[in-house]
Structure 1
């Protein structure tokens, strides 16, 4: 079996894909960045990894390389996703200040016992996150689903297996050199979209996780997580391929694994996003 076929088999991608037209190429949307991209130095991946990338991008689906762009300013805030900031001196402000001072054990306990919103009444387990608490990579999803709620761990089931396979292709592994978390720590009933107030109550936990972890790159999985973390209404197709920032940390946006299980042809684009994230990580490491 060829290397290309082996890689596609790992990700569960059929060997024959239907080519599709590229509609969200950031190079077309921002042509003036071409000169900046050309001036950026190239980060050489190890030989073995280079072969994997080449095999993945050799598929007949039309793909576009994603050079690292300088961090961009956040897009306009989405009022539907972000509630008003708490008043200084309010109970919510005090709560956020308390969370911001917690270390890992206290933060874990605070999430487990949280009753700040109505989701505490319908959850089976909180889902704090899983992985290496000194990892340089962080992945952020939307919220726990049914399986995650039952097991208390993010990204389990078929979507979790796909995510693990994609991480494995980058030399990453759940529990070893990556930390995986969600915007919400409790499952919304029926897997509905999180409400703004729920995001407001849970975001301080995620913010503290990021502050404690200090990752070199954050990979955001899915539309809602991307729009919530970056506070924008920009569609995910336009958020992809560009390096954003959250609290000064580079952020790369890609599709949610559950979406990729339904839309096989976008797996190649998700692989491009992961390659972009790896380049961002390597550049961050080179600068330390």
Structure 2
């Protein structure tokens, strides 16, 4: 009898745990379904139908048109590249995402390799490197706007005019290609500390015996870097590329330059 009672108790306890788990998970699951999963699948469904902004009331009666919407998007000017001064918004996004992320990761990798060494003043150098990331984005944006101000009082114009490289102040953000380049530089400067921290954490987690064993086998610095250091950070590199491609972290704020 005691054994049967214990089994019933365990079954009852397990049932209560299951009900508690569902009661805790269900609200979050409903929110995720309503705000993420359903809109995602609904957007995919709409993309295969002829739906306009003025026809949303009859969206479920829309005509199925297959890949026609995708063809229209690809043939749109947004995906066209017609020279350095004439390209679409999608091309701008692709150039921005790939170039800014690559530069961010490269600078972050260099900074992390530096901070992974023992030297006097490493804490101060780390603090200086972290400043762009921890500084308020709005304040930083206004500082960059002042630096690139097209008036003679702008920092860049003032320096270049004083050393005689230019005679008249220049509007650096009025040229599309140059403006994109400056936004990319800003993005890399702003977010390289994040990449630096992620890479540095991976570097410090590497067992030093791996490097020692490789050196005993005759591996040089280049071999150590390409066979140990880089592979450890591949997933971080991929994650950084994905997040920038999907979100484009600060381009909306940096466009306030102009």
Q: TM-score, normalised by structure 2?
A: 0.26
More helix by share: 2
More strand by share: 1
Instruction: Compare CA radii of gyration and give the structure with the larger one.
Output: 2
Q: TM-score, normalised by structure 1?
A: 0.24
